Structure 1
């Protein structure tokens, strides 16, 4: 049997295992695939029923920091009308061994089928001192976002103490300048409100702003910048990023608006941060919007990931109504690219 029979295809939060044929009384275990910090396995066993298991690979990491997972798992018949069976959503299930999640399917399955797992949330229980009100930390792609605020241990090490403390103090002071309107000298008008800022800070972070203030443009003369395509909340998040004190939740909430602002005002590090973040949680609800933004802002990796999610992982079938609406309004070249990918996938099937 070819190695591809055991390979699981993944995106940041989605895993699919395509099984060409599973004979009666057959057991099969997938190759390991990485989601979050852990390597995972899917197993199937067919006797009178089909048993599907999902579990992390046994390791010291799993023993010490078992994942607490929320996910949706389906079995999809990959021929004909793509009929599927969906397990009720699993929420906050601790997974340590191959017996912690077992799905017994009574419906007989023959021929080709797909096991599809979409991870909604992955957590670990951090050390006792790092838990706030019993809430564990959220983790994806190896990045732990603890709910509590923890000072970096490196800050208190023997090396680099003064420099890191100085940087932290400077950033806090910049944030205070914005928050408390200390000596602001420019007004930014958003679509539904205004906020004060500092020319020097804006000019240092954006060549577009620097050009505005260096030439006799209306922004320099009137001491105002009109950003009518952003709400005041998104504009506040934009300025908070520029000043170095944006909150993670604000960043996530306004990613698309921040992406547009980063492109418009040529702030490359913000554009890259938005790009990386948008890659991490592509799903059926946002994939078409992200595909259009990837095309608009020339983000090839995001475009490729959205195409892969839609075509290779077959999610285009799950959002037929939304996709039909997309066909009516999307850029013609982008639509042609999607159908090109579909044709390639059909030829390879």
Structure 2
């Protein structure tokens, strides 16, 4: 069978797969074809009935933003003189993730050549931040480009010190920034610049508990210049700053990141951090790592030192978890 037997022809919203012959008890899967943001597949199977499936290719994009599709699908038989056409009732705003999300069971027997014709009326994605799904064909790309361009310009304002009006003094250096940007991201900064405090009068903010590099990472995050390496390097400092200046999205980003690499070398520090900054998931994960997985016995010396210097209430919680685990044995 030639490669063309699996090829799906497309326009921006239309896909057609031409099937020359399909014997009984046959399964056939098309080559991938691109519509919108996703690669798609069509399959057809004849086993008493004819089954047609449409689904997106499994990928990171599909998992993170699965398509929400509206489409009309038809089977057009070219074998008969009057081009017999079977039309599915139509699909509206159906989320498609795998090959079982749309299955069309066709009772009518089709012989000879036929075409599977799929017209995509709309494709939507759910915004990562929640809310109503948005169409990728109603300005989605323009909106995405606009946001990307604006974010890039905002980052240049910081890196090129364009019309800065405030100086951030870290422990070992200073960085020029913008009151309006800081105030829009942090209610604490907004309060500083709205009242007759020394920060407003002197046009400086002293962050003496952060190194220059950590402070640069902090401002890079605020301005949208996110850099994964510096974020990982300065997570704890960024967490402290996020808590101090009430930047909840940064605090949650640090929380999620600290969950990902708990080990015997850092678990006690992470546990203390979770307790201090009220991070329930991190605290629970550290407790589970120590008690459920028995790692508390592998770090006896470190844990004994922790008992001497750690928070009494936190230590009591650890012993409570240990006792509960013993009772469960």
Normalised-by-shorter TM-score class: 0.5 to 0.7
Query: Does 2:272 correspond to 1:292?
Result: yes
Instruction: Give the secondary-structure state (helix, strand or coil) at the position aligned to 2:168.
Output: strand
CA deviation after TM superposition for structure 1 residue 159, in Å: 4.7
Residue 200 of structure 2 corresponds to 220
Q: Please report the RMSD computed on the Cα atoms of aligned residues, expressed in angstroms.
A: 2.0
- Structure 2 residues not aligned, in runs of 5+: 1-56, 59-135
* Aligned counterparts of 1:249 and 1:157: Cα–Cα separation in 2: 35
Structure 1 Cα separation of the partners of residues 203 and 305 of structure 2: 43
Structure 1 residue 228 displacement after superposition: 0.7
Residues 66-85 of structure 1 correspond to what in structure 2 (within 5 A)? none
Unaligned runs of 5+ in 1: 1-59, 62-155
Match for residue 249 of structure 2? 269
Q: How many residues align?
A: 198
Runs of 4+ in 1 over 4 A off after TM superposition: 156-159
Q: Aligned equivalents of 2:176 and 2:297: distance in 1?
A: 48
Partner of 1:187: 167
1:170 aligns with 2:150: yes
SS in structure 1 opposite 2:259?
Answer: helix
Q: Give the structure-2-normalised TM-score.
A: 0.58
Aligned partners of 2:205 and 2:139: how far apart in 1? 43
Q: Give, in whole Å, the separation in 2 of the partners of 1:346 and 1:267.
A: 40
2: CA distance, partners of 1:299 / 1:161 = 36
In 1: Cα distance, 2:137 partner to 2:260 partner: 32
C-alpha distance in 2 between matches for 1:188 and 1:219 = 10
* 1:304 and 2:284 aligned: yes
Counterpart in 1 of 2:189? 209
**Per-residue Cα deviation, 1:22-61 (whole angstroms, up to 9, x for no partner):** xxxxxxxxxxxxxxxxxxxxxxxxxxxxxxxxxxxxxx98
Aligned residue for 2:311?
331
Greater RCO (CA < 8 Å, at least 6 residues apart): 1
How far off its partner does 1:174 sit? 0.8
Matches of 1:247 and 1:254 in 2, distance apart? 11
CA positional deviation for 1:326: 1.0
- Hey, what's the Cα distance between the residues in 2 that align with 1:348 and 1:162? 57
- Pairs within 5 Å for 1:31-50: none
Matches within 5 A, 1:1-349: 159-349=139-329
SS in 2 for 1:225: strand
